Amino acid sequence: MFVTVAVGSAQQTVPFRNNIPVAPQGIPPVPLPEKPVEFHTAEGQKIRVVVVARGLEHPWSLAFLPDGSILVTERVGRLRIIRNGVLDPQPIAGVPQVRAMGLSGLMDVVLHPQFAENRFVYLSYTKPVEPDRATLALARGRWDGSALTDVRDIFVGGPGTGGASRLAFGRDGSLFMTTGGGGGNGAQDLNSHAGKVLRLRDDGTVPSDNPFVGRASHKPEVYSLGHRNSLGLAVHPGTGDVWQNENGPNGGDEINVIKPGRNYGWPLVSYGRTYPGPWQSEVFWREGFEQPVVFWVPSIAISGMAFYTGSKLPKWKGDVFVGGLRTGEIPGTGHLERILFNEKMEELRRESLLGELRQRIRDVRQGPDELIYVLADADAGGVLRIEPAP
């Protein structure tokens, strides 16, 4: 199968391959540990991993409320809350109806930067479209202490807009939102929301300084293009730059610094291989496309991203953390990855963490207690906390 994509004013036909020979399940699923587990790490930072909550069905994202409670999305369409280390058995009311499939469902949850005043909670999710279709949507509601109220969609993607959506507020108060663009030509089509990083105001309207505002056949919400499936989004604590990560196919996972109006290449240039083995593109880079800051071959199925700024784990301060769902196409090889950069944000080295737990790490966040929290994505997944070992 071939698809036609636009490159400037020209068009190019490229192969689209969707045969996925996944390795057999030679490593059976491993349950979460019953007791805290300790690890030695490369920088001499000895850590202990504690299960905070278990029994979550494919958790996708987490957010911390001011009182320390944790909101957790489950991809199947439930929003849960952990209070004082205990998972409430009842889902939170007010969540929109979700169509869960593949990388889609109820995805990210973030709080408004002025949450203490306005109580706004944002959810990215796959919205059912009759009769048998769905598209990506962004909902906003108010948290009343036990449920979401006044919930409404403030953005709904156009036809063909996929899942794989993350959210992050920028320093200027604008809301960045990623959209999936794994197949077809959507990631290169500026009249499509697919395969993009979008930039919105906190009410879902479009900022007047977005790069494609006022241009015919260009979606005004688009901030950058040429992305595959973006599963991590974070704002650099020092520069305020928006960092994004995305899944390649069988290799070619990336971390990118997002710049307005720039093209990040998918599917025309990639460091990844297709699932059957051949390279996705004949060249890794060409003029007019942005280079990733970091890339992986084989894929680690990258998901979630956080900058660590705390003092509880001092050897890791300033490092970037990303989740890995598996290495290559081998089930049971998920882990957390730590990336160390120099002062110019050039990669120095990486460290694989928690691999012995055999968990798919879907999300990673720094908590208000300056510890690191990760989500283990499974039928019976959970929330894990990384803290200094005694």
What is the spatial distance between Cα 374 and Cα 385, in angstroms, rounded to a whole number? 7
* 18-30 core/surface letters (b: 16 or more CB in 10 A; e: else): eeeeeeeeeeeee
Q: Identify the pLDDT of residue 26.
A: 62
Task: Classify residue 8 by its DSSP letter.
Answer: T
Q: What distances in angstroms separate CA 362 from CA 78, 302, 343, 373, one per listed residue? A: 16, 8, 28, 11
For residue 24, the model assigns a pLDDT of 60
Mean pLDDT, range 293-299, rounded to an integer? 94
pLDDT of the residue at 17:
36
Sequence-distant contacts of 36-42: CB under 8 A, at least 24 apart: 37/356, 37/357, 38/389, 39/353, 39/354, 39/356, 39/389, 41/315, 41/338, 41/351, 41/353, 42/349, 42/351
381: closest CA among 334, 313, 330?
334
pLDDT in tens, 165-178: 999 999 999 999 99
Report the distance separating Cα 325 and Cα 361, nearest Å.
5
Averaged pLDDT score across all residues of the chain: 92
What is the model's pLDDT at position 160?
A: 80
Q: What is the dihedral of CA 324, 158, 74, 25, to 10 degrees?
A: -50
What is the per-residue pLDDT across 41-50, written as a single tens digit (0 to 9) for each? Answer: 999 999 999 9
Residue that is written with structure tokens 């894929």 in the block: 299
Least confident residue range of 189-203, 219-233, 317-331: 317-331
pLDDT tens track for 72-81: 999 999 999 9
- Identify the band that residue 358 occupies on the pLDDT scale cut at 50, 70 and 90: very high
Identify the DSSP state of 117: H
Compute how many other C-beta atoms are within 10 angstroms of the C-beta atom of residue 190.
Answer: 17
Q: Long-range contacts made by residues 134-140, C-beta under 8 angstroms, separation at least 24? A: 134/99, 134/101, 134/104, 135/159, 135/160, 135/161, 136/104, 136/161, 136/162, 136/163, 136/165, 136/179, 136/180, 136/193, 137/96, 138/167, 138/175, 138/177, 138/200, 138/204, 139/96, 140/203, 140/204
Residues 37-388: name the CATH superfamily.
Answer: TolB, C-terminal domain (2.120.10.30)
Q: In whole angstroms, what is the distance from residue 6 CA to residue 45 CA? A: 48
Q: Is the pLDDT of residue 22 over 80?
A: no
State yes or no: pLDDT of 198 exceeds 60. Answer: yes
pTM exceeds cut of 0.85: yes
Is the Cβ–Cβ distance between 386 and 376 less than 8 Å? no
What is d(CA 260, CA 242) in angstroms, rounded to the nearest whole number? 10
367 in Cβ contact with 292 (< 8 Å)? no
**What H or E segment, with its residue span, contains residue 115?**
helix 115-118
| Comparison of pLDDT for 184 and 381, the residue scoring more | 381
| pLDDT higher than threshold 70 for residue 306 | yes
The domain limits of the chain are 37-388
